[in-house]
Amino acid sequence: MIKPQTIIPDGKNPFKWVSFNEQISRLNAGVVSSRLKLLGESLDQETHFFAAVTAWNDKDYGDDYRAFLDDIPYDELASYAQLLHYKDEIFEALQYHLSIENSKAYPALLDIAISFVVDLKEDFFPFLWAFFDTVIALLERTRADAVVLDVGFKALANLFQIHWRTVTKSLRKVFVRFSPLFGSSTVYIRRFAAEAFSFLLRKSQAIPKLCQFLYEQAHEADKRHIKDGISQLLFNGIKGVHKQFQSRTAELLKDFIQSAMDLEDQAVRDTAMEILVNVMTLCCQWTSVEYSKDVTSVVMNLFGEQINRKSPESQLKILLNLIIVWITTKKGNNFTQQLELLETLKGISAKPGLQQLDYVFLNVVSKTLCTYLSKFSDPGTIRQIIAGGCLNYLQEVNVATVSSVFSFLQSILNLGIFDIWCTSSVAKVLDLIIESPGFNDDLLRPILKFFAVYTIKRRPFLEGVSEERKPFFDTSCFSKFREQVIQKVKALLNSFDDLGIYSLVVYPWLWGTWSEIPDAFLDMKKLMNQLLSSPSSSERTAIVTYLLVYNVELLDCSCLKSLGVDDALKYLKAHDVHDEFILRTAFKILSISEEVPKVDHLSKLEEFSTALKSGMLSPSGSTRRWILKILNVFDSYLQHGHVDERGQFVSSESALSILLQAEETPSNMSCYRTRGSYLRKLSFNLFERMFPEGCSNELKKIPLTLVIAQLFERFTPLWPMAHDIVKDYVKLMKFEDFWEVFQRALDLAKREIYEEMRLDEVELNEMVADEVKNDIFDFCKKPKGDFFTFRTQLFQMLIHFPGYAKRNDQYMVDTLIDIYQEEYFLLRGSVPELQQAAFNCFLSYRYPFLNPYAEYFNALFDKKKFHNGIIHFSIDESNSAVESTHRSELIPYLMKVLNGQLMVKGYSYKTKTVIIMNHLAGSTSSELDVFFDEIFGLLMEYTKLKRNINEQKIEDVCNFSEEYDFTNTLSPRRLSRLVSLTN
């Protein structure tokens, strides 16, 4: 056998570098040459072994190969008799040299070993198991050598092919020897092992027993990758060629699955199910729709057998988990037996005790209906599966079963037949649950959550005036559920729990006509008026207030017309205008109020813009959009334009209207230019025309504020447009007006970066409110602004108008010093260029203790000069480059630089650490304290541990793990150096 060579296709570059992954992908340990050809001689004159040795002698494999030749009489091994005579000596030599670490002769030795096995055939059996162990150990050592892996696994495959009759009698023993390869952390090693071993698997006459043994081994093994290795083995056992499966697939796969279902231990059965699910995934990814039935028909036939036998649910659970893979992988396109599956699900849905199947049956029904609904023509069968499955699943009513059923119903809400064919089934399920003896709020919660989601999908919250209320399902069969909703709505007078919020979402849609609406509506109006006049609010209160206003408008719009403009203004001033629910509520009131056409629109516009000022720099584009919608309520009544030369008034487009169009335009690849064009319309020269006559400068600052806020958009092509527009404003606006807006943006970034995150301080009930928002109000999520990037963009803007920064030098200096001290520690940075720039800043102060040593420091910042530089910059008192009068002031700077250099790329980390630690050996104890303060100071500060162990109380140390607040910690960015050093 000749050394494996890369096959070069015609026209390809033979010298092109081929990556290791590509080399590995070309190998296949399951393909074995059927015959080895001898080089020009007959079998009675030469052996395969001698031919292989002769071929490898022509190649120079160095001392390792020659040492092997010295251990065998290879000149005498041309005949089979001689080879048989020296077989023990040859095998010992092969085994010894294959066990040598880092040998260069592995490919040659393995190739020769294959020839040796082929020559000896059955006579090789005494060496079989020892050779197995040697080759497996070698493969584990050389997992990064593609050539050795190729020849090594082919050697195993040849062993299997020649000795399969013997080996298959003890397959369990072989698998135990192979288990290190099946459990390897390297994916391709597991694949090669599976490809090689699959040959024996096909030859076995006891597949069920072998499979059960494999499942038990996977369950008991400590290595977490062995499940994947066994999955690969079973898959290769049925895999064919050209996306097809081999002829014995039906027989083998049935044995794989049946042996798993016959396992008695539940834990082992779960492991087997996990392995088989992986096998199904591999099959689905491998095959195409033309050949998938070879596998899926086996699973479907087993379904029929188990239903006819009335087998336990545990066996059906395995089959359901297998079939769902075909439904969900490749969008279900490889599965062709949809109608058979529907009938199977119909039969299973009639079985009692479906809760023993956990959620898997309902999940299969959901995925089947959502994927293949267009192929089903009988809605009655679908309704029977849904209703029968849910009712049988609820034979035991508890929180788990109720949650599962309504999670299932929520997953099929998008079906076109749900409103017509399924709501009556949902009503039956509801009555069953409500009439159960142990009915309580825990059972009601998943029900209300489902109806809240259902309502929002069918009747989403409108941004303007709501249309006429039109129920979307038959409410006549939900009388008992309505009673529960009414109780929870009335309970909102006492507390705002999640059940009450869900009930508010559902409430308007459970009544057919106005005459059916009960007196709970009066309680809602009373609570709404209380909350609108309340001076304080939480996120939960804001949600409840908005839902009350929305519901009152749906049920009786006249109740809101009496609310005035001042009510909305007072509400905004008393609450956080960054909260979208607050803004939605105010806009809803203004959209309906009869006062709006009668007020002084310019003065109200000014008042509302002042109240909403802080929200204009919000990271949330939705918040900015709602603010503009509120301002446009008044701006739309005002005239915008100018008087031309002829004395005629010429109308112009409102600036606030243009800003609203810009915010409503998505910031994505297809629309960002349109958004930018809207913003460019807002030329400062045209503000006299685009704003109402007599407006204040504060209104004219709104466009600049919102243009700067575009830097929060997570779409970087939009940012250069914002930069250009701001540069135009700089040239035309008054300095005081421009800098007030710009400084407000800088202050916002500084405050948000330095302050503790708001989520760290919220109370438990606010966290619950967040959970409710995630469930049904995900459209109102507050985005977490990237204030670091926002501030960086603001600093980049300053480059274009440095004069403004100079005129505010005190503010800018204070800001930059804060950044230096609180965030970056520039002299400690891990970027040499940044360290050197910071050091040059210090040199500008001309410190007498620092400037004389500038060359020494500059050498430390240069990766190529670092080693020599630190040697010359000695601080050992016997040979110090630092004058004694400068030492105390210079050392802190040097320690900061060395701290940063620990993480600079260049030398290996261990090498650089040794160099720096050797340098620090010349420090005094007090100077070492300075260095360790740099390393551990932040940790000591946050953990509040004492430097002096004598000052540390033992009780503080013992209680540290219980009392320490782990949210009050350092970022990984700052701790990275400490972790690396202590490692």
What does the pLDDT look like over 510-525, one tens digit per residue? 877 766 666 678 888 8
Q: Which residue has the tokens 């503000």?
A: 687
Domain end: 110, 142, 167, which one?
A: 167
pLDDT at residue 334 greater than cutoff 90:
yes
pLDDT band at 910 (very low <50, low <70, confident <90, very high): low
Q: For position 779, what pLDDT does the model report?
A: 65
Domain end: 127, 148, 167, which one?
A: 167
pLDDT band at 534 (very low <50, low <70, confident <90, very high): confident
DSSP 516: G
Rounded Cα distance, 226 and 159, in Å: 23
Average pLDDT over the chain, rounded to an integer: 82
Let me know if residue 369 belongs to a domain: no
pLDDT at residue 32 greater than cutoff 50:
no
Let me know if residue 416 belongs to a domain: no
Q: For position 13, what pLDDT does the model report?
A: 56
Are the C-beta atoms of 527 and 555 separated by less than 8 Å? no
Residue (of 934, 896, 901) closest to 830 by Cα position: 901
Distance of CA 551 to the CA centre of its chain: 37
Provide the token pair at 55: 């071929």
> Of 350 and 336, which is predicted with more confidence?
336
Let me know if residue 630 belongs to a domain: no
pLDDT band at 938 (very low <50, low <70, confident <90, very high): low
> Of 819 and 240, which is predicted with more confidence?
240
Are the C-beta atoms of 559 and 552 separated by less than 8 Å? yes
pLDDT band at 769 (very low <50, low <70, confident <90, very high): very low
pLDDT at residue 677 greater than cutoff 90:
yes
SS3 for 650? strand
Share of the chain above pLDDT 90, in %: 28
Q: For position 859, what pLDDT does the model report?
A: 86
- The torsion angles phi and psi of 651, rounded to 5 degrees, stand at -75, 150
Q: For position 31, what pLDDT does the model report?
A: 47
Let me know if residue 290 belongs to a domain: no
Rg for the chain, CA atoms, rounded: 39
Q: Count the domains in the chain.
A: 2
pLDDT at residue 57 greater than cutoff 90:
no
pLDDT band at 816 (very low <50, low <70, confident <90, very high): low
Let me know if residue 474 belongs to a domain: no
Count of H-run helices and E-run strands, the chain = 51, 2
Let me know if residue 117 belongs to a domain: yes
- The torsion angles phi and psi of 641, rounded to 5 degrees, stand at 160, -160
- CB-based contacts of 940, cutoff 8 Å, min separation 6: 947
pLDDT band at 948 (very low <50, low <70, confident <90, very high): low
Domain boundaries, position 894: 825-982
Q: For position 654, what pLDDT does the model report?
A: 93
Are the C-beta atoms of 674 and 667 separated by less than 8 Å? no
Let me know if residue 129 belongs to a domain: yes
- CB-based contacts of 314, cutoff 8 Å, min separation 6: 261, 266, 269, 356
For the question of whether the overall pTM of this predicted structure is more than 0.75, the answer is no
Let me know if residue 105 belongs to a domain: yes
Cβ atoms within 10 Å, residue 104? 13
pLDDT in tens, 166-206: 777 777 888 888 788 888 888 888 888 888 788 878 888 88
Domain end: 137, 152, 167, which one?
A: 167
- Integer distance in angstroms from the first to the last C-alpha of the chain? 48
pLDDT at residue 285 greater than cutoff 70:
yes
pLDDT at residue 291 greater than cutoff 90:
yes
